[in-house]
Amino acid sequence: MKVKVESTTTLKPTYEPTTTTRSPPTSTHVPLTVFDKVTYAAHIAVIYAYRPPTPSNSKIKLGLRRALSEYREWAGRLGHDEDGNPVILLNDDGVKLVEASTDTRLDEVMPLKPSPLVLSLHPALNDVVELVQVQLTRFSCGSLVVGFTAHHLVADGHSTSNFLVAWGRASRGLDLGPLPYHDRTIFNPREPPIFEYDHRGVEYYGHHDRSCYCNENDRDSLVDDIVIHKVHFTMDFLSKLKTRCATSSNNKAYSTFVSLVAHLWRAVTKARGLGGFETTRIRISVDGRARMVNPRVPNEYFGNLVLWAFPTSRVKDLLREPLPYAAKLIHDAVAGVNDGYFKSFVDFASHRVDEEGLTPTAEMNKAVLSPDLEVDSWLRFPFYDLDFGGGCPYVFMPSFFPTEGMMFLLPSFIGDGSVDAFVPLFRDSLDTFKEVCYVLE
């Protein structure tokens, strides 16, 4: 598949009488919060595919400009204020918009999978000053693929999905829906600070920890050995998984997410062939919007508000014990990231990080996570609601992120509650994973 770039332009917000904001606000910048600064400092890319008929590029671009008038952060740039603090400059410098085409029919490359092929469907992620990039690729059959990239320091998946839905509504001539809540000054540390938890070795590297840094040459040498395997889990299989997880002395029912992650944790660990006395853990995102109290954060808060749970086990215990063992570890770890934990983090990040020169553990330059895993769940985000006027997408997927062990969970486009898991593994682990990923023990 050869993709031809037809044009590259910069789109800036449009402040029309039809939008809530009729003229540019006077704010010059917004500060990065402790939650922004601790997350991944990188662009994240996703891919959408739409069947014909699809709306014109001009309608999609106008909708984007309208949406940017309410989500001005995306049209800004990262910078610093007069005191040297990291901020988002609200300068309306705009987002990158690429229009492209290909002589290929979309069905010739279906099913789309996270592979080097999809990298041609969105702008490059490195050395980018824009905070959002969009590529509209027209296929010879009339299908449209939208590649979208966004800088994670600006917003988390919850906020980004809300923006995407608003963009679709704006493209259809509708109001943007619930407007974003922009106040990033609400996360104030307590006085005196209370460090209820140690955040070294969790959100930040401790003084004796070392970042698993992988330079570009190392990453390039490993990419060919990593394959991203897509696994479809039906509602029937997920129901059986939940039943297996509930089969324990306390007969506790676990969520679909906890049950599936417990199963995948065991399956990947088996496929890797790890030693029994090695320790393995999973990094799981926890959204603070539903957990923080006083202040209670609105669901429409725009920015990052995510910390992580780290369920941990010795390999031999994880594989020897029944499935409810892993499910309980996950459930308890996620439940522990509560209001008190979030407040402890705010206090710690506000008083200790700069003083001690600590660096975040959230990194995108790792090529291999083994013996650990990371799971990014997009199960509750309305990504499939991005409708420009021709209907919802029939494909939604992450781009090609060849990081061994970084899993993505997405609702299947079928819409019946089934789940698609994207699991990056070394090629020599793939056969074993395929053998065990549908086995219920």
Report pLDDT digits (tens) over 182-193: 999 999 999 999
Report pLDDT digits (tens) over 267-294: 999 999 999 999 999 999 999 999 999 8
Look at residue 211 and tell me whether its pLDDT is greater than 60. Answer: no
The pLDDT, as a whole number, for residue 249 is 56
Q: What gap in Å lies between CA 316 and CA 201, rounded to an integer?
A: 23
CB 97, CB 13: distance < 8 Å: no
DSSP string spanning 68-127? HTT-GGGGSEEEE-TTS-EEEE-----EEEEEEE-SS-GGGSPSP-SSGGGGGGS---SS
159: amino acid identity, one letter: S
Question: pTM to 2 decimals?
Answer: 0.94
> In which band, very low, low, confident or very high, does the pLDDT at 168 lie, cut at 50, 70 and 90?
very high
The pLDDT, as a whole number, for residue 215 is 52
DSSP string spanning 174-187? ---SSPPB------
Active site residues: 152, 387
Report pLDDT digits (tens) over 346-399: 999 999 999 999 999 999 888 999 999 999 999 999 999 999 999 999 999 999
